Amino acid sequence: MHNFQFPGQKSIYHGKVRDVYSIHDDLLVMIASNRISAFDVILPKPIPYKGQVLNQIAAIMLDATKDICPNWLISTPAPNVSIGKKCTPFKIEMVVRGNLVGHAWRTYQTGKRELCGAIMPDGLKENDFFPTPIITPSTKADAGHDEDISPNEILATGLASASDWAILEKYALGLFERGNQIAADKGLILADTKYEFGKIGDTIYLMDEVHTPDSSRYFYADGFEARQASGEKQKQLSKEFVREWLIANNFMGKEGQTVPEMTDEWIDTISKRYIELFEKVSGKTFVPETIDDESIVQKVTESLALITV
């Protein structure tokens, strides 16, 4: 874990996979590390090029959605570094789901038909499309696990005002629709994703990463309907395969459980899957870049000198 020193730096926050540096009172430098987490646990070994993949997909997607809502990003001075506006975050993750998969499917299997105030109709199979995308927010916990929350609870607890919630909902659904249009052009389906928002003054900004493999789940569109009809597993592009490997090795982040050994071969497989996702989602060839600490400091310093907020 690094502790860089940048001009005007006020604080450092080490997240599970990103390190965030506050600059003056209005800017953030976000460094996407090669750390990988699952079940709220940082796994013991880094994944080569993962930070670059996440940072570059996020930059492409933020640029492709800036007509829908303003976002925090100002520049990407290095392959794994973004600089942007510092917002006051809403303590909510806006999870949008187009398909019945993951947490929604696990909830559905228990017989429940409501998730975070959203209704899930009867008669669906795993991975089926919802009639229209649903929003299933969760609280953004400072520590521990994020918790499901309904829009009514968000308003009742003051996590967002009614007018802000209306904007968050509109932005999240608009971004998800755009994300699916971009995915469809590349032969993919954006099954679910999460967005984070913050405010500067009265303006709501999209923050953080967008439509990346860490925040989203993609299916391959080709053969999707046939696989659904025959009850086959869908081909996914996401971090889910890492979670599945952990579950198969009896690890779900619970007390007393041990992370299974990560062999060099398995780390290489994960890295290749991240690169595959970058190329599939962006339509660009991935160019691996390694950058030393000195160059990061230099590039960030140069970039900060050019920014006037």
Distance from chain centroid for Cα 304: 25
* Confidence grade of residue 214 (pLDDT, cut at 50, 70, 90): confident
204 has pLDDT over 90: yes
How far apart (Å, rounded) are the C-alpha atoms in residues 234 and 256? 32
309 has pLDDT over 80: no
DSSP for 219-244 reads EESTTHHHHHHHTPPPPEESTHHHHH
What is the reported pLDDT for 263? Answer: 96
What is the reported pLDDT for 143? Answer: 60
What is the reported pLDDT for 238? Answer: 83
The answer to whether residues 54 and 48 touch, using CB atoms and an 8 Å cutoff, is: no
* Confidence grade of residue 3 (pLDDT, cut at 50, 70, 90): confident
146 has pLDDT over 90: no
235 has pLDDT over 80: yes
Locus of tokens 């975050």: 89
The pLDDT tens digits of the residues spanning 273-289 come to 999 989 999 999 999 99
The answer to whether residues 13 and 31 touch, using CB atoms and an 8 Å cutoff, is: no
What is the reported pLDDT for 20? Answer: 96
Per-residue DSSP letter, 267: H
Environment class of 289 (CB within 10 Å of its CB; exposed 0-12, middle 13-18, buried 19+): exposed
Look at 174 and 38; give whichever has higher pLDDT.
174
What is the reported pLDDT for 144? Answer: 61
Per-residue DSSP letter, 291: -
247 has pLDDT over 80: yes
Query: Which of 116, 126, 48 has the alpha carbon at shortest distance from 290?
Result: 48
What is the average pLDDT score of the chain?
Answer: 94
Locus of tokens 């199979």: 125
Determine the Cα angle at 189 with ends 196 and 100, to 5°. Answer: 75
User: For 135, phi and psi rounded to 5 degrees?
Assistant: -105, 125
The answer to whether residues 174 and 84 touch, using CB atoms and an 8 Å cutoff, is: no
Three-state DSSP at 67 gives: coil
Given 3.30.470.20, 3.40.109.10, 3.40.1190.20, 3.30.70.890, which CATH number is that of 89-237? 3.30.470.20
* Confidence grade of residue 142 (pLDDT, cut at 50, 70, 90): low
What is the reported pLDDT for 56? Answer: 97
Query: Which of 208, 202, 210 has the alpha carbon at shortest distance from 64?
Result: 210
Three-state DSSP at 249 gives: coil
Per-residue DSSP letter, 289: -
Model pTM score: 0.92
Three-state DSSP at 258 gives: coil
How far apart (Å, rounded) are the C-alpha atoms in residues 71 and 77? 17
Three-state DSSP at 163 gives: helix
* Confidence grade of residue 239 (pLDDT, cut at 50, 70, 90): confident
Query: Which of 214, 229, 234, 215 has the alpha carbon at shortest distance from 100?
Result: 234
What is the reported pLDDT for 2? Answer: 79
139 has pLDDT over 90: yes
How far apart (Å, rounded) are the C-alpha atoms in residues 182 and 272? 22
Say which residues have a Cβ less than 8 Å from residue 130's Cβ, sequence separation at least 6.
97, 98, 99, 100, 120, 121, 124
Q: Which amino acid is at 95?
A: V
The pLDDT tens digits of the residues spanning 58-103 come to 999 999 999 999 999 999 999 999 999 999 999 999 999 999 999 9
Query: Which of 74, 54, 79, 52 has the alpha carbon at shortest distance from 63?
Result: 74
How far apart (Å, rounded) are the C-alpha atoms in residues 143 and 122? 35
What is the reported pLDDT for 39? Answer: 87
